[in-house]
Amino acid sequence: MSLIVQKYGGTSVGSVERIQAVAQRVSKSHGAGHQVVVVVSAMSGETNKLLELAHRCAPQPALREVDVLIATGEQVTSALLAIVLQEQGIPARSFLGHQIRIDTDSAYGRARIQRIDGEHIRGALGRGEVAVVAGFQGVDAHGHITTLGRGGSDTSAVAVAAALKADVCEIYTDVDGVYTSDPRICPQARKLNRISHDEMLELASLGAKVLQIRSVEFAKRYGVPLCVRSSFDDSEGTWVVPEDGAMEQVLVSGVSLDRDQAKITIRHIPDRPGVASKVLGPIAAANISVDMIIQNASTAGDADFTFTLPKTDVARALKIIEETAREIGAQASSDTEVVKVSVVGLGMRSHAGVAARMFETLAAEGINIQMISTSEIKISVVIEAKYGELAVRALHKALIEEASLGA
Amino acid sequence: MSLIVQKYGGTSVGSVERIQAVAQRVSKSHGAGHQVVVVVSAMSGETNKLLELAHRCAPQPALREVDVLIATGEQVTSALLAIVLQEQGIPARSFLGHQIRIDTDSAYGRARIQRIDGEHIRGALGRGEVAVVAGFQGVDAHGHITTLGRGGSDTSAVAVAAALKADVCEIYTDVDGVYTSDPRICPQARKLNRISHDEMLELASLGAKVLQIRSVEFAKRYGVPLCVRSSFDDSEGTWVVPEDGAMEQVLVSGVSLDRDQAKITIRHIPDRPGVASKVLGPIAAANISVDMIIQNASTAGDADFTFTLPKTDVARALKIIEETAREIGAQASSDTEVVKVSVVGLGMRSHAGVAARMFETLAAEGINIQMISTSEIKISVVIEAKYGELAVRALHKALIEEASLGA
């Protein structure tokens, strides 16, 4: 008998019929004698609908109340799934964040889980019940409802699995695993059977929506065996696992394309110490997160400064930067016609040739590289938007399909 | 400075625009220096939509989970109103049943309030905030979410007003007060300025949907000054108040028509002690509530037994009764073509003539009375459905428009 945590995303619980299909799958695991905890997202579209309602009420709705509002999405799904399970003769009970309870900090809209009390869920499992947990939500020290940010139900699931020392945490979604690239862009992309936590973290931070970053961090820290699977078929899915020796044999495990990128440049900055903080300080204060940053001094004694940021923040950021530019006598400009292409792989640690082969490949396609950033297991480049798909396909071919570590 | 509890029904918060109008009204009271607690229902139609979803999941959805589900309706409205108030510059905070907290028993779907802790709301009021309370919901001793039944937000409002010793509890709805009869049936109906708790209780139990019965009971028991008003205009509304001498000058204050009535009759029951309990026991066990009951012995030594019940329960009840009838050798039949017409008034206590005048009036219109039931301040008759409106108009004319106590 195992203790299994299963998480179902919005598409998997998007209608009564789909909730019934989820119940069938839960019932199979329960019937096989396992203890089952199910974590559910809101029905697909619900969270956006509620957010839209909030924004019709106020351009900047109060964050505490937005969390009270959007937490209802998962509350509805958890109740419906419990109803369907009971209808199928399986004892089941819904649990809300404050009932479990899932303690978080008070950062509304992006709260972090601090502690989970597993006692009530363990009680339900002990009575043979399926525990249906409303994902995405928690409660702060004052009893206020909090939510964990986009994809937060993944983190709920992994955190609950960690708290209960579950044998496995299965993330059911509308794709059947983690791919080497987006199959809609790159038809040669193939499903990975296994991927390391670190690679998954890099892919997630590059915009792969299959798992919330924090859920992977949790899984890594607490050693939760994590599996991404499709709720629509019975294929094996992708295991997200601790790194082992065999993995390093693979040079690159993923090529990703992030379209939600924009670039802001300030030219002719007087090259003095403290310029970077003068430029980025007000941006950080406005809660805009900056990704890649490049500063290069010109021979003329001044410097250019470029950074990337999410497209949605570019108008707001440019207004701030233009003010700074005026103060220091520089010129600011923005460019939203850019994308970020990245390759991720544990193999990069021990094989120096990846970067060179990546740049050669792009050059051979006539693609100019605007910015470069690297981590231990990742290389990202910013290029003109129109070359995005071409770059992904070329890099996938050169670094995954044709790659051999001996080359 | 007063402490005011305002309750807004589903129609009054049925859209973002209407919630904004509610905020305006709240803001006026808050701006005048009053402490304001607002209790909200779900947006009109939401509770039914959620119930429909539950019934698509299971014909008899688990009651505990239905409450988790439908409690989200009020949660959404309370968050939205708090957002709108804050957008208008008024400090506001939403409160859910378990946050206040509103302790109830565990009778899901029709829970009763046992105790309200006013501390958190008082804290908010003390900080100058408007407290926005999700109506209809509470929490039982195990931390499970409960709901108070149809119209439960009225009871939430009055109970909160009682707990806080509020100066007034205003019930805002889509009608501007309590009428002597339904104006759609009886154009001569007029708005009452004041009505006693007992009369309001009788009217509510006769199907007047303006207030939930329990809210009136609470108001009576705890002496909460209660006022029913329209959220769409500034008219005075109707005060529901303790009885005083002046009230008894009015003979009848309301004539009501209840169309949700059916009648079940069993004929030729052997006239033995214990028959009533034999007939009604299984009905009560099936949780069907019976209203009027008549038993009359015939000269032949057997008895007829008739009772009324809500139309929705008649099929289920008839099945049970037919079984009983077979056992005791009697015959069962049902009739859904009936209505109940009632007159309510404190004046009946001291004036014996009301019943006589009621029966005369019906006879003059050629309407046959099938059943009669009376209380201290109410007389109800069951008649053929097709005469319903005629009976109401005739009784309203005879007992309200033309009545004088001296007659």
pLDDT tens digit sequence for B229-242: 998 888 889 999 98
Question: What are the pLDDT digits (tens) for B22-46?
Answer: 999 999 999 999 999 999 999 999 9
Where does a domain end: A177, A209, A243?
Answer: A243
Same domain, A231 and A325: no
**Does A53 lie at the interface with B, CB-CB under 8 angstroms?**
yes
User: Cα–Cα distance between B209 and B151 in angstroms, integer?
Assistant: 8
B268 and B201 together in one domain = no
Residue A304: its pLDDT value, please? 85
Lookup result for tokens 């199928």? A88
Nearest-angstrom CA–CA distance, A310 and A385: 14
Tens of pLDDT, residues B211-223: 888 999 999 999 9
- Give A100-165 as a DSSP string: HTEEE-S-TTS--EEEE--HHHHHHHHTTPEEEEETTEEE-TTS-EEE--TTHHHHHHHHHHHHHT
Question: Strand A226-230's sheet: what is its strand order?
Answer: A92-95, A130-134, A35-40, A3-8, A168-173, A226-230, A238-241, A194-196
| A65·B72 Cβ contact <8 A | no
Is B249 inside any structural domain? no
Task: State how far residue A58 is from chain B, nearest Cα, in angstroms.
Answer: 6
B142 pLDDT higher than 50: yes
Query: Is pLDDT of B209 > 80?
Result: no
A250 falls within a domain: no
Structure tokens at A185: 């862009």
| Residue linked to tokens 């695991």 | A29
Pairwise CB contact (< 8 Å): B80 & A20: no
Among residues A142, A85, A86, A93, the alpha carbon closest in space to that of B142 is found at: A93
What residues contact residue B63 under an 8 Å CB cut-off, 6+ apart?
B108, B109
Domain that residue B133 falls in? 3-243
Long-range contacts of A244-248 (CB under 8 A, 24+ apart): A247/A194, A247/A196, A247/A346, A248/A346, A248/A347, A248/A349, A248/A350
Q: H/E/C letters for each residue in chain B?
A: CCEEEEEECCHHHCCHHHHHHHHHHHHHHHHCCCEEEEEECCCCCHHHHHHHHHHHHCCCCCHHHHHHHHHHHHHHHHHHHHHHHHHCCCCEEEECHHHHCEEECCCCCCCCEEEECCHHHHHHHHCCCEEEEECCEEECCCCCEEECCCCHHHHHHHHHHHHCCCCEEEEEECCCCCECCCCCCCCCCCECCEEEHHHHHHHHHCCCCCCCHHHHHHHHHHCCCEEEEECCCCCCCEEEECCCHHHHHCCCCEEEEEEEEEEEEEEEEECCCCHHHHHHHHHHHCCCCCCCEEEEECCCCEEEEEEEECHHHHHHHHHHHHHHHHHHCCEEEEEEEEEEEEEECHHHHCCCHHHHHHHHHHHHCCCCEEEEEEECCEEEEEEEHHHHHHHHHHHHHHHHHCCCCCC
Domain boundary among A243, A274, A290: A243
Q: Are residues B161 and B42 in the same domain?
A: yes
Same domain as B262, residue B228: no
User: Which of A56, A62, A82 is facing B62, going by the closest CB pair?
Assistant: A82
Residue B211 placed within a domain: yes
CA atoms of A194 and B227, how far apart (whole Å)? 66
The predicted model gives B359-374 an average pLDDT of: 92
Query: Rounded to 10 degrees, what is the CA torsion of A223, A225, A230, A232?
Result: -130
Contact A322, A284 (CB under 8 A): no
The tens digit of pLDDT for each residue in B144-158 reads 999 999 889 999 999
Classify strands A194-196 and A35-40 as parallel, antiparallel or unpaired: unpaired
Look at residue A45 and tell me if it is in a domain: yes
In whole numbers, what is the pLDDT of chain B averaged over residues?
A: 91
Instruction: Give B338's contacts (C-beta < 8 A, 6+ positions apart).
Output: B261, B262, B263, B308, B370, B382, B383, B384, B385
For residue B376, the model assigns a pLDDT of 85
Let me know whether B156 and B21 are in one domain: yes
Residues A231 and A291 in one domain: no
Q: Which helix (H) or strand (E) holds A281?
A: helix A275-285
Interchain pair B57, A76: CB under 8 A: no
Low-confidence ranges of chain A (pLDDT < 50): 405-407
> CA-CA distances (angstroms) from residue B223 to A228, A270, B133, B167, B215?
60, 75, 21, 10, 11
Q: Does A297 touch chain B (CB under 8 A)?
A: no
Average pLDDT (B99-114) is 95
Please report whether residue A142 resides in a domain.
yes
Higher pLDDT, residue A300 or B368: B368
- Residue B136: the pLDDT is 97
Q: Kindly state whether residue A407 falls inside one of the protein's structural domains.
A: no
Q: Residue B248 pLDDT more than 80?
A: no
Stretch B198-206: mean pLDDT: 86
Residue B218 belongs to some domain of the structure = yes
Nearest to B281 by CA among B317, B233, B253: B317
Residue of B nearest to A60 (CA): B87
Q: Min CA distance, A100 vs chain B (Å)?
A: 10
How does residue B407 score in pLDDT terms, banded at 50, 70 and 90? very low
| pLDDT at position A235 | 87
Instruction: Give B15→chain A minimum CA distance, Å.
Output: 10
| One domain, residues B369 and B227 | no
Mean pLDDT, residues B84-102: 97
d(CA A324, CA A334): 14
Q: Is residue B248 part of a domain?
A: no
B90 touches chain A (CB under 8 A): no
Phi, psi for residue A299 in degrees, rounded to 5: -70, -20
- Does B96 reach chain A within 8 Å, measured CB to CB? yes
With CA atoms as reference, report the closest residue to B360 among B311, B406, B395: B395
Across the interface, whether the CB atoms of A66 and B58 are under 8 A apart is answered no
Using DSSP's 3-state secondary structure scheme, residue A229 falls into: strand
Instruction: Give the mean pLDDT of B175-186.
Output: 91
CA distance B74 to A161: 31
Confidence of residue B392 (pLDDT cuts 50, 70, 90): very high
- Note whether A121 and A211 are same-domain residues: yes
Tell me, yes or no, whether A73 and A122 share the same domain: yes
Cβ–Cβ contact B269 with A under 8 A: no
Q: How many domains does chain A have?
A: 2
Q: A87, B50: Cβ pair inside 8 Å? A: no
CATH number of the domain that residue B40 is part of: 3.40.1160.10
The whole-number pLDDT of residue A406 equals 44
Q: What is the CATH number of the domain that holds A293?
A: 3.30.2130.10
**In the numeric block, which tokens belong to residue B199?**
């009369």
